[in-house]
Amino acid sequence: METARTVKDVSPHEFVKAYAAHLKRSGKMELPHWTDIVKTGTFKELAPYDPDWYYIRAASMARKIYLRGGLVALLHVTYFNSLQNMNIIDFDPKGGRRITPSGQRDLDQVSGRIVVTP
């Protein structure tokens, strides 16, 4: 067993769980007031059952930007704004968003705490 070095070395599910917990523990992310009542899709009838769903979505978006970079999506603006206020992502001069150096360090530290089994 060994520890991961970057986000690419870790299972996506394990990383998103760990990074969402990190975001919640840090207390830097301000949740919008509507997170407990909003539906996440037009076809949904209720709000998500998991009270930490916003952290999970934000962690997933941070992972996608880390791996692909340059992501642009109008629907994800609230997640992007929350991550940008924490200095994890920033605007890319070529368009879209990119991970900041401090954000990359943060994501790599969280992935380094996850044990990888071969």
Q: What is the CATH number of domain 12-31+47-113?
A: 1.10.10.10
Instruction: Give the residue ranges of the chain where pLDDT is below 70.
Output: 1, 3-4, 71-75, 118
Going from N- to C-terminal start, the domains of the chain cover: 12-31+47-113
Collapsed DSSP state (helix, strand, coil) of residue 56: helix
Using a 10 angstrom Cβ sphere, with 0-12 exposed, 13-18 middle and 19 or more buried, the burial of residue 114 is middle
CA–CA gap between residue 5 and residue 111 (Å, rounded): 7
| Residue 107: per-residue pLDDT | 92
| Residue 63: per-residue pLDDT | 92
Among 118, 116, 21, 10, which residue's Cα sits nearest to residue 66? Answer: 10
Tokens of 49: 């059952």
**DSSP-derived secondary structure letter, 114:** S
| Residue 13: per-residue pLDDT | 94
| Residue 18: per-residue pLDDT | 94
- How far is CA 14 from each of CA 10, 21, 23, 41, rounded to the nearest angstrom? 7, 11, 14, 24
| Residue 116: per-residue pLDDT | 73
In sequence order, what are the residues at sequence separation of 6 or more whose Cβ sits closer than 8 angstroms to the Cβ of residue 10? 4, 111, 114, 116
